[in-house]
Amino acid sequence: MDSLCPVVVCVATPALIALLLALNACGSSSSSSTPAGSYSLTATALSPVSITAGGASRATITLTPANGYAGSINLSCGTISGGSAAPACSFRPNPVAVAGAAAGTSTLTVSTTSSTPGGSYSISVTGSDGRNAAPSNGAQSLVLTIAAVIQRVVVIFQENRTPDNLFQGLCLPPYGSPSACGTAQNQYNIAQSGLNTSGQTITLGAIDLGTAGSSPQNYDLSHANSALVSMYDGGKMDGANMIPCYPQTGVVCPSNPQYMYVIPTDVAPYIAMAQQYTFGDQMFQTNEGPSFPAHQFIYGGTSAPTATSTDFPYLSNQAEPAVRIEALVETQHPPIAPTWPYFASLAPLEFGIHL
């Protein structure tokens, strides 16, 4: 059969050109291609799968060669999604050399700092060798849950206002809704009305924050301890109408000046903070003294000096107040135990920010 090729060439005509071309390779032999070597990448789940910011989690990465693959593979975390300050990846060893049938392993460590935001993170692990070849089975995805760490605690005090007066916007559009307010655990305890000493229910009216606007507050209410005692009314909490009102010169106090709430648009930043952070919506201070000792209730648990204290000598000869109302704080989020010490001073100090 080998002589067919030259015979065809000898008698070739234009009509047989196609046959000539077809038979021209009849004497050659075909060779089968050997499949290129490759490697696969697998990963165990991160352990622990949930950590606190500042901690670390680890996983074992296994590289398995196939079809006679041999090479050195550099490992990396391709993408990390879930937070703006992403955790950091490191591998040991890296790169990883594999050859023959033996798999290679490396330990992945995912590290965080105390400032890493909390949340669920998806971490993509991949590899690349000297030929820029990726794993044959693609990158592997791992999941890590991080609990954030509180960096600072900022306490903001608002004097001479109640939650009902200043934060009515939590219950009203456009910042809130009526369903957000009530006495249930996940609701803001903001009242839309109050009782007076005659047993009447007075609906709160809207007023501007300050002396400008269509409904200016051209008056002030008494801040005295006696005003607190009147409002408290032996525990009935119906004596707000007994709090004295002091109008500015040339004006008179409006009807029911004690039963007012600030127009929400005037205090939009306050409402945003109350919705985002811990909000003390059920709060009584002692009102048995000036601002500084009253504020100590927030972080010290008490404003009363001990029997042997010399911090408040001017109180040593004063009688115990007739009414003492202890602090009650209910927050929308779990309370945070303070870690700072208790300080007292005769200097004119204030703790916190006055809005």
Each residue's pLDDT tens digit, 307-355: 565 655 544 444 444 333 333 333 333 333 433 333 333 333 333 333 3
Pairwise pLDDT comparison (17 vs 157), residue with the higher score: 157
Residue 215 has pLDDT above 80, yes or no: yes
Each residue's pLDDT tens digit, 100-126: 889 999 999 999 998 898 999 999 999
Residue 171: count other Cβ atoms within 10 Å of its Cβ.
22
pLDDT of residue 120: 92
Residues 291-313 have a mean pLDDT of: 61
Structural domain spans, the chain: 38-147, 156-354
Each residue's pLDDT tens digit, 144-197: 999 998 877 777 777 778 889 999 999 999 999 999 999 888 899 999 999 999
CA 48 vs. chain centroid, Å, equals: 21
Query: Exposure pattern of 299-322 as b/e (b: 16+ CB <10 Å)?
Result: bbeebbeeeeeeebeeeeeeeeee
- Long-range contacts: 235-243, Cβ < 8 Å, 24+? 236/195, 237/195, 238/194, 238/195, 238/196, 238/197, 238/199, 239/196, 239/197, 240/194, 240/196, 241/196, 241/197, 241/202, 242/197
Each residue's pLDDT tens digit, 226-279: 888 898 898 898 999 999 999 999 999 999 999 999 999 999 999 999 998 888
Q: Which CATH number fits domain 38-147: 2.70.70.10, 1.10.10.10, 2.60.40.10, 3.40.50.150?
A: 2.60.40.10
